[in-house]
Every structure is written in structure tokens, then in C-alpha cells.
Structure 1
């Protein structure tokens, strides 16, 4: 039994060895298929009335960058292109029996001259002459070109930093019409098995499809839909600006005699201006399709801060005005409104006879006990409530808009 097994194994090995192709077989094959009649400048296709079918796939590796300020989008990946060149077919039995595929330099074979229509810099051909491709005995050519693919991408920054973007790469083969070369898509999405996650963008969807432009040229399009990861921007931009804005309200609770009110409110205002500058440097300069709502929100916070600074200065002028000057009636009304129509809280000594003889306190008697310091306190009270509501509404409206988009 062991002898029979050894004999069968020996015959199998001998058969396999006799069927294995050698380097001479491959050299003979290359000499046969790349003969003087093969012209790499002529597209494949025995029947010229039928367009050459070119299958395209894409293996997505990573997102390199999306620079919104200049509209530059770049990714890394491998473009797989497959077609049939009947001139490169052979019978494996004539070349060792198992020579089913061979690898040849790209420059020796006809390849589709793919051009990136939306390249950020200059239009250039996809691929490199030093690359190799694989040819099968049935004439199927497999061409895989790893590269970094760049494209222009006009980002819509309306909802930054809670925005989603869709960038498209467009390819076409110049010189050939739809009746001569036709793109076919065996898979309508990119291969994400080798994708490396990006810390800034989350890929939501990928699409590969064809479209015909206004010049009746077929285009191969690859679309990538992404959503920005907003955690970094919330912690480093939105929350600090919100805290700074509400920190300005503390100025109306500071003692007016400390002498730091104007310096405090101006410092916080400048901090908000710095954040506004940082956001503007990040966003594109154009106004279309829309300016970021965050810019409007920061501008609103900045304008509220400006009016708060003015209010602080006006209040300090009231605090330090001499009591000999008469308080106008409209400021008396403002004081009553600010303190809820209540009498001035300043202590005033009233003798017994005056209290018994006077049943009501007239407006004239109230104006006599008011001081400019009371007007300053009314200004602080009104400003604290008014600007607090303004800041709350500004932030609340922004959050509602962002929540509606999300």
C-alpha cells in the first residue's frame, strides 16, 4: 500500500513538473504577443462597432486632507482598471501548460489615458510608466494604480463645525467618445476594507458612478460623503466663546470703585475678537454658497460685548457724577423700571412729624432721595438682565439651528 502511494505521488509530481512553465516559456510568450504587429497606440477591440468595456473599482486607503480655505481635497487609494485586449490572449498549453497570467511593464501595453478633470494643480495622467500590470491568457488586463488623488472641493461651511461635505473626483479619457470606450461599474461603492479612519472626518457614504457631461463625454465619478467630528471644536471653540461671553456679565456685579471694570470687559471683548479671527482664518473667503452660522454667532457675541463695554462706561459716569446735579425725570423713570417700581433702597432719615403728616410719597419726594449712584446701580441691574437675555438668545438660536441640521 505504501509503495502504491509512493508511485502515485511520484507520477503526480512528475506530471506537475512537466506542466510547470519556465522562464523561456514566458520569454517566448512576450515575444509572441508583443510582436511587430502590436501597436500600443491603438485601442483594443476586434469589433470596432462595439465600445471597449472598461471596468473600474477603487480601494479607499485614507483621507489626506480637506482644506476648506483653498478648496483642496486629497485622498490615497488604488484605482483598479480592467479591460480585455484580444491581441494579448494565448493558449496556456503552448507555454508550459499553466502559464495563465504574466506581468508586463505598463509602457508596453495599451492603457486608457485617464485624466483627473478636477485636479487641484495641473491636469495629469493617472499612473506611471514604471508600474506593472497583469495580463491573463484570456486577454483580461488588470491595472492597479496606487496614488494620491487630488481634487477641488468647494465646501459648504454653513453649519461649520457640524457640517457634512461631499467631494467628487471626476475622470475621463480624452479623445474617445462614448461609442468607442464605455465605463462600467461592477461595484457602486468603494472598497473600505483597508481604510484608515481619519481623526477629523467620518466617511458616511462612497459612490462610484458614470455621468455624461454637456459635451457628451462620459465621466467616471467617485463621490465621498463625510461628516466632521465636532468634539474638538466644541471643547476648544464653542464652549470657550460661550463662557467668555457670559463672563462679561460679571462686570456689572463688580464694585464700581475697584477701577477694573473697563479693563475687565475690554479684555474679554478682545478674547472674543481673537476667536472670531481664528474662525475667519479657517473658513474660505468667499460668501457662497453661504457664510458659516458660527461666524454670525461670534459676530453677535462681539457686538453684544461692544454694547456692554459702552454700558459699563455710561454706568461709571453715573456713579462718579456729583450729587448736586439734578437727575432728569426720564432717569427717575428708568430707575423705577429697573427696580420694579419700588422706592429707592437708600436709607433716609425721616422724622416722626413728617411721617405722620405725609401719607403718600410723591414723585418729588422720591427724586429728592435719589442719587447718581442709584442711577448707576439701576444701569448695572438693567444691563445685567438685558445683555444676559441677549447672550442667551444668541446661543440658543445657534444651538437650535445646529440641532435642526443634525
Structure 2
């Protein structure tokens, strides 16, 4: 025989990422034929249908395949069976469905999830009873709006599951009612993404904080602790699984690493700043500062906008009444030498420029991947 099953949804109660479960409320509509229940309505005062309980008529032994709280056989309870004179039996079974759902958090909070409710038989093999879908999709005519999830679409899949018993392998018919939901991300943009981005931008401000303020290290540590707290809060709302890694978690890890680097580099800048001014600066540090730090950060403009030799000649003219003569090596070298405090200042500005560009580029890339990637996933 064949039995047709349809699912109607009334509400989407919860989609729990931690427990990997979905809770919905609705009812199953089942329809099958029983030739033993046929009658001629002319012989019974034109009665074409009656109502009966599960104690009076036969019903398929069905259960929810992926249920979490109740895997028992679907019972009639107080619901009635509508029996037609043609032998067709209709049964509507209301229920709260709590089923497993593997949540993909890759594009959280712009994610779209697919969760299924599986209906199969516990007693009748596919040769004895075949399950068919009553409708092409899940009925959502009575579905109420959910505050966190938006219903997108649904579909019904038919398949066969195999079970090994003492008498060999048996096949049972399986119906999967798959509902596709997408998350409302407005709340998460305001309460998750925006705080993370703003806190990561605060990290770069440590490099323009004056050394004389004495607050550089404490400021860097405060921002680092804020990032660690945000990472902990978001991690607590995600499942403890390595099957799917959230891009947002990767971005948080990146900002945490940048915060740690900011603390270490701030300590290095303070170490250079407090160095004994009587001790000469090593030649290699001069070269590194002049060729990398100052040039890369456009220090005072001339390193990236004008030729260094031209700036040197300008400086020599200003110190010698507007004339450039033949100057010795020591005099020319003196204009290219920096003190410890100047090196610390240039390094601070270089790190500010480096962290600013890297944070902006990486943040923009991650946000584009999150939003665009979830659309095509």
C-alpha cells in the first residue's frame, strides 16, 4: 500500500546552534486507503464519512526519524480519523517537532540553514508500504512570523533507509521535509559585528598616543581585553564543532592577534624612546628607519613624495646661507642620523599607517566574504 504524508507549519520556535536542533510547531496530514472500510452510503442513510479513533481503525506505524525528545510511534491520542465511504482515511496529527539540525555557521550571522523533519515507518518495509508526499512543499499558509528566522522555501525528498536486522538487511521508506531558513541579521550587525569592528579600529590608535602620556601600554591592554571578551561571548553562542568554522571567528582571531602585536610593538617603541641618549644609535637601525619606516610611512612627506638627496641638499642650503658647497662625509651623514626619540616617533607613525591599512583592508575583505559568500552558498 501507499501512504501520503504532508507537513504544515504553524510556527518556528527555535533553531539552536549550540544544541544543533530545530523546534517547530505544526501538524502532519496523513492519508491512506483501507479497502476494509468501504461501504455503500445508500445503505447507511447517505452517510459518506465517519470519525473514529486509533483503537477502531488501522494506522501506519510511523515515527520521526531525527527526533530529539520523542522517538516513539505517532499515536492518535485524542485526534480523530476521518474515514470516507471509499475507504480513504485522513488523519491530522498536531505536534511540536524537536529534531536534529546540523547548523552551518560559516557565514554567521548572514547564514542560511536547511533543517529536515524525517518521517519513516518502524514496522513496514518499502515493499509493504511506500511513503509519498501529499504536497510538493511544506504548507506554510498558517505560519506566523519569527523574530530571528525568515522562511525562504521548502521541499520534500523521498528516499530509502537501510537497517540491518537478524534476518538480513531491510529497506524502509523515508520522507524528508526540508525547510530553508535565513537569519535576520540586523540585530547581529548592531550587537556583534559593529562592536568587533570598532574595537579592532581602536587598536591602531595606540600608535598615535603620545609616549609622554604614560598610557600607551595600559590602553593597548584594555583594547586587547575587550577583544578577548568579545571573542569569548561570540564563541559561547556557537556550537563546539570543527566541521564548520565561522568566518567571523577567524576575523576575531585576527583582531586578537593584532591586539597582541600592538601591545608588544608598543613596548618596543617605549624601550627605544627611553634608551640612553648618550649611547649612539647603531648604523643598521638608522638604515632601517630611513629606508623602511620613514619611507613607508611618508614621514614628513619627503621620503615618499620627493627624492631623499633633494631633501638633503635643501637642508644643507638652509644651514649654510642658501649655498651648497662641498661638504664632508660627516656633515652629510649628520643630516641623515636620528636620535633614539626620533626613531621611536617614526616607528610609531609607521606602525600606525601599517595597522590602519591592514585593519581596513582585512575588515572590508571579511565583511564582503561574509555577505556575498552567504548569497551564493
TM (normalized to structure 1)? 0.79
Structure 1 residue 396 displacement after superposition = 2.5
Residue aligned with 1:336, SS: helix
Among 137, 143, 167, the residue aligned to 2:91: 143
| Runs of 5+ unmatched residues, structure 2 | 164-170, 296-302
In structure 2, distance between residues paired with 1:155 and 1:351 = 71
Structure 1 residue 185 displacement after superposition = 2.1
Structure 1 residue 311 displacement after superposition = 1.2
Residue aligned with 2:350, SS: helix
What is the aligned partner in structure 1 of residue 167 from structure 2? Answer: none
Alignment CA distance shift 1:354-1:187 (3 Å): closer
What is the aligned partner in structure 2 of residue 29 from structure 1? Answer: none
Structure with the greater alpha carbon radius of gyration: 1
| 8 Å CA contact retained: 1:208, 1:220 | yes
Structure 1 residue 193 displacement after superposition = 0.7
| 8 Å CA contact retained: 1:327, 1:372 | yes
Alignment CA distance shift 1:151-1:363 (3 Å): farther
What is the aligned partner in structure 1 of residue 364 from structure 2? Answer: 396
Q: Deviations over 1:39-60 (max 9, x none)?
A: xxxxxxxxxxxxx221111111
Residue aligned with 1:167, SS: strand
In structure 1, distance between residues paired with 2:4 and 2:109 = 38
Greater strand proportion = 2
Stretches of 4+ aligned residues off by more than 6 angstroms: 353-357
Structure 1 residue 102 displacement after superposition = 2.0
Among 312, 315, 334, the residue aligned to 1:365: 334
| 8 Å CA contact retained: 2:61, 2:123 | no
Residue aligned with 1:109, SS: coil
Residue aligned with 1:80, SS: strand
Among 269, 272, 275, the residue aligned to 2:227: 272
The question of 1:383 aligning with 2:332 is answered: no
The question of 1:220 aligning with 2:220 is answered: no
Q: Deviations over 1:359-390 (max 9, x none)?
A: 4775641366x321101101111110111122
Structure 1 residue 352 displacement after superposition = 5.4
The question of 1:258 aligning with 2:213 is answered: yes
TM (normalized to structure 2)? 0.85
Alignment CA distance shift 1:241-1:226 (3 Å): same
Q: Deviations over 1:332-379 (max 9, x none)?
A: 1233233334679xx99x9759987664775641366x3211011011
In structure 2, distance between residues paired with 1:352 and 1:209 = 89
Alignment CA distance shift 1:360-1:145 (3 Å): farther
What is the aligned partner in structure 1 of residue 300 from structure 2? Answer: none
What is the aligned partner in structure 2 of residue 75 from structure 1? Answer: 24
Q: CA RMSD in A?
A: 2.5
In structure 2, distance between residues paired with 1:367 and 1:208 = 75
In structure 1, distance between residues paired with 2:235 and 2:150 = 24
Among 250, 261, 281, the residue aligned to 2:236: 281
| 8 Å CA contact retained: 2:64, 2:120 | yes
The size of the alignment, in residue pairs, is 349
Residue aligned with 1:197, SS: coil
The question of 1:203 aligning with 2:151 is answered: yes
